[in-house]
Amino acid sequence: MRLLDMVDSLVDLVIPDDPESVLGMTKDLITLRNATDHQLAAIDASGVARKAGSTTAKLLQANGAAPASAYRWLRIGAGLAGLDRTAGYSRDGYLSSEHVDAVVRGVAHVVDRSRDPMTDADRVDVERKLLSHAISGAPPAAIGAAARALGNEVARDTGGPPPAEDRSLNSVDYAVRDGRLVGKFDVDAVIGEKLFSALDFWSRARPEPDGSDDARTPTQRRADALHQLLDCGGGQTLVSAPRTEVMVTVPADHPEAASLSWMGPVTEATAAALACDSSITSITLDGQQVPIDVSPPKRLFTGLVRKAIIIRDACCVKCGAHASWSDCHHIKHFVDGGATTLENGCLLCRTCHMAVHNTDWDVIMGDDGHPWLIPPADVDPLRKPLPAYNRRTLTLAA
């Protein structure tokens, strides 16, 4: 039987009047659609597209598949390896490709959140838990939410960062549609706090010219605030300091319980990193949540000091990332009384900056007037100081 003969049968199909028959037919049609999707997901493994000098995604789309469907089939085909139960439900048409995709992506998400390598048994256990949601009728979005919850548990149990501070989960997606930029983002607490703080002032309601209330909706006000923010702080200069003010509250009796105004609790390391290169106001609270000390906001590493650090370091002193991607880091932490001076600052990209604050990497200022890095003992048992990246490459080149 040719597959197109099945299409002819579907064309001639008549929807019955009996509700019970309609329900049965609906189930059969959905099962047929699900099983078809499974076979389409297996096409990439054949290697036909590669032999023809193309890609499977292009092959599928050239034959009428929507891009979203084509890429979903590719994800399923690549992700079902080792997920035998999910593959069986997909092959038999029991689960839709959207549900299968949610399970595949969910398992991968949980595996990525584990700091330790995940065993095959643990991976199968994650698959079983997510499948139970799919089989019970949960929508794909709910399966994704369950995967994120499992990922948080795995990260906690293996010593990984809390989800609010896990930068590996950050994502920003956008595309131009009908001449408009449409997007979504999922970012950590620090970026979220900066976004809230940056948009708050410009998104406040303002009266209309005639004195009436602001006619804009909250979402329109936030869009206008983003426009204003881009106009005020979107320049490409390397020597301008951050323009976003962040407020951190610190309980006097529990200094480790620092909290951001918008995004909530953060770790001490994150609070210390924020203090390096932000306009930051620190408020100390007593046991009754009454402010007992307020440090005035201070714009850090501005003007000539920032420019001098960029000239001296040229790039991230740890990995060599471009200066435009780097923060100015206080070698002696600002919260510990470190001065905002050339002698106490160095360039660190965002990733290396968090590594210095969260791991045993240390930075010291050498007698030569340049920053040096001291690796953790698990990297170098002798903890031999390393010159800054630009000095290290100069030395190697010589």
Torsion, Cα of 135, 141, 142, 146 (10° steps): 100
Residue-wise pLDDT tens digits, 66-90: 999 999 999 999 999 999 999 999 9
Strands 171-177, 345-349: pairing kind: unpaired
d(CA 315, CA 335): 24
Segment 38-44 mean pLDDT: 93
How far is residue 34's CA from residue 57's CA, in Å, rounded to a whole number?
A: 19
| Token pair for 128 | 């079983």
Is the distance from CB of 188 to CB of 167 less than 8 angstroms? yes
- pLDDT at residue 262, as a whole number: 75
pLDDT for residue 394? 56
81, containing H or E segment:
none
Q: Which of 99, 79, 81 is nearest to 89 (CA)?
A: 99
pLDDT at 397 over 70: no
- Average pLDDT value for residue range 91-112: 96
pLDDT above 50 for 199: yes
Kindly tell me if the per-residue pLDDT of 18 is higher than 90: no
Max mean pLDDT range (12-26, 118-132, 178-192, 248-262): 118-132
Q: What angle do CA 348, 351, 356 make, to 5 degrees?
A: 65
Q: Both tokens of residue 165? A: 């501070």
Helices (H), the chain: 3-11, 19-41, 43-46, 48-51, 56-62, 67-79, 84-91, 97-113, 120-135, 140-157, 189-200, 218-233, 268-276, 303-313, 350-358, 389-397
CB 365 within 8 A of CB 356: no
Residue 266: its pLDDT value, please? 80
- For 278, the 3-state DSSP assignment is coil
Q: Mean of the per-residue pLDDT values for the chain?
A: 83
Pick from 315, 288, 321, 324: nearest CA to 390: 315
- What was the pLDDT predicted at 276? 66
Question: Which has the closest alpha carbon to 37: 68, 12, 11?
Answer: 68
* Statement: residue 295 has pLDDT above 60: no
Write down the pLDDT at residue 253. Answer: 66
Q: Are 361 and 330 in contact (CB under 8 A)?
A: no
Sequence-distant contacts of 338-344: CB under 8 A, at least 24 apart: 340/298, 340/300, 340/301, 340/305, 341/305, 342/305, 342/308, 342/309, 342/312, 343/369
Q: Where are the alpha helices (DSSP H) in 253-335?
A: 268-276, 303-313
| DSSP-derived pairing of the beta strands 386-387 and 180-186 | unpaired
Pairing mode of beta strands 279-285, 245-251: parallel
pLDDT for position 5: 77
> What is the distance between the alpha carbons of residues 23 and 135, in angstroms, rounded to a whole number?
19
What pLDDT is attached to residue 292? 47
What is the model's pLDDT at position 80? 94
Tell me the per-residue pLDDT of 231-276, one tens digit each, with 9 for 90 and over.
Answer: 665 444 444 555 556 677 767 666 667 787 777 888 777 777 776 6
Pairing mode, strands 171-177 and 259-260: unpaired
Report the distance separating Cα 130 and Cα 132, nearest Å. Answer: 5
Least confident of 17-26, 49-58, 131-140, 252-261: 252-261
**Out of 92-106, 127-141, 216-230, 281-295, least confident range:** 281-295
pLDDT of 368 over the 60 cut: yes
Is the full-model pTM beyond 0.75?
no
